[in-house]
Amino acid sequence: MYKIDFDHPVSIYFIGIGGISMSGLAEILADAGFRVSGSDWKSSSITRALEEKGIQVKYGESPEHITDDIDCAVLTSAVHDTNLEYQAIREKGIPYLSRAELLGQLMRNYDTPVAISGTHGKTTTTSMVSEILLRAGTDPTLSIGGILKTIGGNVRIGRSGYFVTEACEYTNSFLSFFPKVGIILNIEEDHLDFFKDLDDIRRSFRAFAELLPEDGCLIINSDISDHQKITEGLSCRVVTYSAGDNTSADYYPSDICYDESGHPSFLLHAPSKGEATFTLRVPGQHNVSNAVASIALADLLEIDRSVTMEALHNFSGTDRRFEYKGTVGGVTIIDDYAHHPTEITATLQAAANYPHRTLWCVFQPHTYSRTKAFLKDFAQSLSLADKVVLADIYAARETDNLGISSGTLKQEIEALGHECYYFPTFDEIENFLLENCINGDLLITMGAGDVHKIGENLLGK
């Protein structure tokens, strides 16, 4: 594997530089004196922000983009052998790294690299931790999988030994990391286009836990089934937390209650640190879980509890995580990134505590493989909404539809006796919603694709 010498900056080229993680890495390298450039399919707010920072972005896919002065290329898992720029890199003998390999090498430059993993909740928990570290004045470097308003983007370049990043299990990418502190939020079936089954996923998380050094620490959700099999025999310290009433965990909440906007408060129990009451400004039981994990990390880093309490109280979420978009005709529009049945359930349960008359969910399934694998689970979770509207499946990296469609999911939802509609275009969905949503309704656009445009279009009409 090519090793980057951070003391001697060279020319680095990113294929897919407009991705949320790739763009952050590009910014960090540019700040370190590297000559950074890259390509993406089309202009976006992210690529334009990179260009404003002096990073050259080329658009489209062309072998002519790959010039002889490039010393190393960085690729995402979405880049395949058919990519013309990748082929040119191979032909020229230019060394290359995966995004995860670069991130892993970067982590070695920090005293306290923190990697936050889990099937769900990574972006929100990373954002909560970021808010705590910022309020504590630790000057951290942050790499977040979403836009955090506090830093005006997804990356912050600090000058201390703290580095915080999300750690995704897809394609085992987090096994290229070098964390000193790791968090495992949950382990569930997902990315079954890569993993064989849940046991295969659990093996991956176990391997992630084994990356932690003897003087490191793993913070793990003890609500994970047989979590001891993930932690047994580890040389590092292990701290457990629970999202519910598992009083054997090192950290757990009780007395959870919600205000009129669905924001929770809870009493935190930590036998070694004492009790304290926390109030959040993000809704749902799942965010109580994310907050408890963040508190455990903050305590590990010896951050004053009052700072942690204030940071979590002021944290209002990241883009596309139960994000308030606006109100039109008395209809409140929320956007959420949920694209897995467990995430959908958490979001819709949180919405139940939010003021509304009728709860509408406009869902855009993400990838054919995920839709097929969780078809009945999607139907069950979406049925928590009063009325469901389906958009076409967002194919992302996939080309084979596997004989599945949003029409198939509609049939499953209707078989449960639930009201569901399907329209193949956003225009049709928007017109339907304009005709049927009324004053007092709550409308959530949901999915990992571009479904957020529906709410934004409605607000502009």
Could you list the active site residues? 122-123, 166
Tell the residue number behind the tokens 């310290």, with chain if given.
237
Q: Using CA atoms, how far apart are residues 446 and 433, in angstroms rounded to an integer?
A: 15
Host H or E run for residue 206: helix 198-209
Distance, CA of 412 to CA of 156 (rounded, Å): 44
Residue 350 CA neighbour count, 13 Å, CB half: 26
Give the count of alpha carbons within 13 A of 172, CB side only.
15
Task: Report in angstroms the alpha-carbon separations of 74 from 12, 33, 65, 78, 250.
Answer: 7, 17, 14, 12, 40
Report in angstroms the alpha-carbon separations of 9 from 74, 129, 223. 15, 30, 44
Q: Considering just the CA atoms, what is the radius of gyration of the chain in Å?
A: 22
Residues 9/35, Cβ–Cβ less than 8 Å = yes
Give the β-pairing of 276-279 and 264-269: antiparallel
Let me know how many helices (H) and strands (E) the chain has, helices first.
15, 21
Those residues whose C-beta lies under 8 Å from the C-beta of residue 369, and which sit 6 or more positions away, are 192, 193, 398, 402
For residues 129 and 294, the answer to whether their CB atoms sit within 8 Å is yes
Q: Give the integer Cα–Cα distance in Å for 340 and 378.
A: 8
DSSP sequence for 98-162: EHHHHHHHHHTTSSEEEEEE-SS-HHHHHHHHHHHHHHTT---EEEEEEEETTTTEEEE--SSSE
Contacts from 2-9 at CB under 8 Å and sequence distance 24+?
2/72, 2/95, 2/96, 2/97, 3/105, 4/72, 4/97, 4/102, 4/105, 6/32, 6/109, 9/33, 9/34, 9/35
Structure tokens at 455: 């709410």
Could you give the residue ranges of the DSSP H alpha helices within 219-325? 228-231, 285-300, 305-314
Q: For residue 361, give the nearest of 447, 432, 446, 456 by alpha carbon.
A: 446
